[in-house]
């Protein structure tokens, strides 16, 4: 459940695009747990406390935690009755006080390139109000399957080129709601071990891409990027707890080397991310000077480029094997000159880095255009010749607004102009 933190009049003004120069939004609501909370997203210590609350003796708790952890995160159990190695009495006691709920799939869109976007409804809502919705994207490749997770309902920040940045910030997600996105993806992709799929649900594992991944010994969901809705470092504790569950070798078991957290530059939390999560880091840079970055990423007014790069140079575990990815969205006649490519190389000197060039993904109402492909290639060549890996990210899921910078929950009503633009892009109503 949720409870408003601000008046309806404040909510109505923050639902529209923020004014120029606006840096951060404040959450409109806070999370209140339901009467029967889900066990999804609890740490081992919290799960032990849950077992204590239903009368499990202390001497048994470690074993019971391990059993339930396995059923949740290896087999993907969706009801306590499936946990056949747990006594009927304990299953009944747990079912009386807890659930195994994850977010509800409201809609699924499948791109021509195989990308899947899910609109997920959270298990909150108060006084009959509509439950909140977020988006999660799965991107299949020949050698991996990447899941893009959201960390907030809306976003704290106001990046001018990002569709999600135009949305109000409703609240932070809980660890369970973040882990729940992984659970939903594995449910939809039939990516659990040894659990039969409920009747009527289609699987993806029989597709050519799925077979390649299975034959190669990988799960369909093999990588995680915290690049969906929200700024992860403004929801640090929940993101940390969720990613540690995702990386647990006896559960979901996605290596920290395959987990990337992307930040727009919340400098005070960057060192904590390295020390307490230990995942790979990506930084949304997008400009080589403070004046332009102030416009593109208004958070830069609070944490300018020098402070951001100092934090990157001191990121725990940074090495040539654990490089930082700098994301640079290519905006026509804004940040794509060859002079800016040379300046970018100088700016990142001494930082083990990969520079990820992202063709701008248009969204209804955006004022930017994507750089010409010839210009992107020239920009990339300068970076490559300076010794940096400079892949150009292939736009994925553009036709379902699932590409980088496009996520915005369908719970946000579209204007007439936006609806027309979506139709022009061959989107469904």
Taking the C-alpha atoms of residue 110 and residue 138, their distance in angstroms, rounded to an integer, is 10
User: Is 370 designated active site?
Assistant: no
C-alpha Rg value of the chain to the nearest Å: 22
Taking the C-alpha atoms of residue 239 and residue 260, their distance in angstroms, rounded to an integer, is 12
Residue among 15, 21, 61, 17 nearest 42 (CA): 61
pLDDT at residue 32, rounded to an integer = 84
pLDDT at residue 217, rounded to an integer = 52
User: Is 135 designated active site?
Assistant: yes
The residue to which tokens 């799965």 are assigned = 138
Q: Which of 29, 135, 177, 231 is catalytic?
A: 135
Q: Which of 148, 155, 370, 404 is catalytic?
A: 404
- DSSP code per residue over 181-248: HHHHHHHHHT-SSS-PPPTT---STTSHHHHHHHHTT--S--EEEE-SSS-GGGGHHHHHHHHHHHH-
- Strands of the sheet with 104-110, listed across from one edge: 104-110, 116-121, 133-140, 145-148, 223-226, 259-263, 280-284, 324-330, 353-359
The residue to which tokens 């039939």 are assigned = 190
First to last CA, the chain: 29
Q: Beta strand 133-140 with 145-148: parallel, antiparallel or unpaired?
A: antiparallel
DSSP helix/strand/coil, 261: strand
Question: Taking a C-beta distance cutoff of 8 angstroms, is the pair 378, 338 a contact?
Answer: yes
Instruction: List Cβ neighbours of 294 (8 Å cut-off, separation of 6 or more).
Output: 21, 300, 301
Domains and CATH numbers, the chain: 2-32+103-424 (3.20.20.70), 44-97 (no CATH)
CB atoms within 10 A of CB 50: 20
Question: Taking a C-beta distance cutoff of 8 angstroms, is the pair 108, 118 a contact?
Answer: yes
Q: How far is CA 31 from CA 5, 58, 97, 166, 170, in A?
A: 10, 30, 19, 22, 10
Confidence (pTM) = 0.84
Taking the C-alpha atoms of residue 46 and residue 404, their distance in angstroms, rounded to an integer, is 35
Sign of CA dihedral 230, 236, 241, 243: positive
DSSP helix/strand/coil, 114: coil
pLDDT at residue 394, rounded to an integer = 62
pLDDT at residue 63, rounded to an integer = 97
pLDDT at residue 427, rounded to an integer = 28
Taking the C-alpha atoms of residue 73 and residue 47, their distance in angstroms, rounded to an integer, is 13
Residues of the chain with pLDDT under 50: 1-16, 197, 199-203, 205-216, 402-407, 409-429
């Amino acid at each position: 459940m949720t409870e408003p933190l601000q008046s309806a009049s404040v909510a109505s003004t923050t639902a529209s695009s923020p004014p120029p120069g606006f840096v951060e939004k404040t959450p409109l609501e806070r999370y209140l747990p339901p009467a029967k909370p889900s066990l999804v997203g609890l740490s081992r210590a919290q799960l032990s406390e849950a077992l204590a609350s239903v009368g499990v003796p202390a001497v048994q708790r470690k074993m019971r935690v391990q059993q339930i952890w396995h059923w949740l995160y290896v087999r993907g159990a969706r009801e306590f009755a499936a946990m056949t190695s747990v006594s009927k009495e304990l299953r009944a006691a747990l079912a009386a006080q807890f659930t195994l709920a994850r977010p509800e799939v409201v809609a699924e869109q499948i791109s021509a390139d195989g990308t899947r976007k899910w609109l997920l409804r959270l298990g909150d809502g108060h006084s009959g109000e509509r439950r909140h919705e977020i988006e999660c994207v799965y991107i299949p490749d020949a050698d991996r399957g990447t899941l893009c997770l959201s960390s907030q309902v809306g976003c704290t920040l106001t990046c001018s080129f990002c569709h999600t940045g135009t949305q109000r910030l409703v609240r932070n997600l809980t660890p369970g709601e973040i882990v729940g996105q992984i659970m939903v993806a594995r449910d939809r992709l039939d990516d659990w071990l040894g659990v039969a799929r409920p009747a009527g649900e289609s699987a993806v594992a029989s597709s050519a891409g799925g077979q390649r991944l299975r034959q190669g010994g990988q799960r369909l969901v093999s990588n995680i990027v915290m690049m969906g809705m929200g700024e992860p470092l403004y929801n640090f504790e929940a993101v940390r707890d969720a990613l540690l569950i995702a990386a647990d070798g006896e559960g979901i078991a996605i290596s920290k080397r395959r987990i990337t957290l992307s930040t727009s530059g919340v400098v005070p939390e960057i060192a904590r991310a390295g020390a307490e999560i230990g995942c790979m880091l990506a930084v949304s840079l997008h400009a080589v000077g403070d004046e332009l970055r102030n416009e593109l990423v208004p958070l830069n007014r609070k944490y300018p480029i020098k402070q951001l790069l100092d934090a990157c140079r001191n990121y725990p575990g940074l090495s040539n094997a654990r490089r930082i990815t700098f994301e640079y969205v290519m905006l026509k006649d804004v940040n794509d000159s060859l002079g800016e490519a040379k300046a970018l190389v100088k700016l990142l000197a001494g930082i083990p880095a990969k520079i990820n060039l992202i063709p701008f993904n248009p969204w209804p109402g955006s004022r930017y255009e994507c750089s010409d492909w010839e210009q992107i290639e020239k920009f990339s060549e300068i970076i490559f010749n300076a010794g940096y890996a400079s892949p150009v990210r292939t736009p994925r899921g553009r036709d379902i607004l699932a590409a980088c910078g496009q996520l915005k929950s369908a719970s946000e009503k579209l204007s007439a102009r936006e609806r027309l633009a979506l139709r022009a892009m061959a989107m469904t109503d």
